[in-house]
Structure 1
């Protein structure tokens, strides 16, 4: 097993694709070899992304009242969760969210809406805000607005959106156990549509939702097949009122094995630590950043994160470089 682990980086960097069976072996790495596994995944990260780290930030632009029944989500109207539902915030707030993102040194800012898909009117409003943001602020703009057609993707691209987030969440096999109101294949086809429009893809998963190791490997392999650009790694925070409220948290060691698997299967993709990282990784958070090159700062959709200053301190402690768009940005007017 040790020889298998210690040869992983060389194999991946030579262009070899690990098999699903080897992925399962990675997830079952004995804890005494975990440092070796992290070291191998870290070598792959460093070969592709050097010592750079990127912060991203989001705005919960439309909250709750969602018709979908994702079992892990507080925003579903199907569950009695303590949430403040509201419609799409005004353009001014969308722009202010970008100002806040820049203030915490985020290189990306994502506008996120609840619901199966955004309406045409909402997309127009988002596009207007994106035009102002991209002309006046040094930050890359992403959107996460559910299922979206080609016409709307082109509109958002013309407005300045660079990347679209659309998570598969878990394997095709496990997905019906988590969501019944829309099929996994619909999400998969949306990702293909995003790519066909020439936009960058940000597609992740949430772990700790009752999936098997086979489900985890299948998701990593699907993203490898799709060639996605960024993979957000979310770990369940059980929310009262949702069907997964009583799910047990993953161990930090299991989280590290999952993160390492995704890096070894997707060496060219950005690996982004997102929701639940603090609660699930705990004292192993620094170790996770040996493998990841991005993280979400400033909080999540319905849960607060740790202070951005703490993340910046970690990056400095690890000897990594925080990258921002500020240095290469040509200001049209002073906004920050």
Structure 2
């Protein structure tokens, strides 16, 4: 199993949901990047469980410990080690699945791959692992600030309730003003109501997170196999519960003719090359073109539901299984900082790779 991500700015995560803790090693971050522990903690606080009645009630402070690589508020250029200890495990909630396979979970596939599995919260397959990515993403964001790049995502759809406008018409500063993390207040209220109704029915609901990267210069991305959109897609599809990724016009672009879809170039008053439309989503030929990068990430409904479901055990016997424990009725609000983190990790890696592209 690959536990590492990135080429130059590279991370390796470790730990399980109900083990001692989870953590990440960041290698390749340049020296001299200004970042305080509090900045990493703020990113983790956005992802942590128990932050509203729309999320799992598991109580984890997600307090980060810096083991190495930071000194005096600056990165040292050496590997950065970050640790987040688990504090509120309720492993007894999972004793009923020691030999059972939960529908749409990784229980069966892990057994087939490894011949054994940590059934406590799913072990390594748990979304708790993503806290380590969020910590690493905060460091990547600090590095990207030095080159003027920022990334921000938001919940644009929950079930059938969707934001009626594009990101250009939204004040993304409103994203964290409500527990759904939707910057369109009226839609956020409807989303929250749907999540609560779903939770009360002991069910779950999915949706879409839209990601936006601003200030990305032209020239990031590697031709052929490591295209920028391919790396972003890989990053997003590695997040638990993600079922789809599209950038720019995405699938909707198939409804347009080429004459409608092409982004015409022009030179603005400052002499910068721009495009009059942005169906390309800021990426052409796998390389950034200097426009805003935007994409959408589809999340399925959380697989654990507190309802009886038909399944089998590890002996192949048919059984009925109902979920137990503490789970999110909708993963979207807590997925936003994870999407932010993975975006930052991809862009940080691409910035460093671009520096070796030409003299």
TM range (shorter): under 0.3
Q: Relative to total residues, which structure has the larger strand share, 1 or 2?
A: 2
Q: Decide which structure has the larger Cα Rg and report it.
A: 2
State TM-score, norm by structure 2. 0.25
Q: Relative to total residues, which structure has the larger helix share, 1 or 2?
A: 1
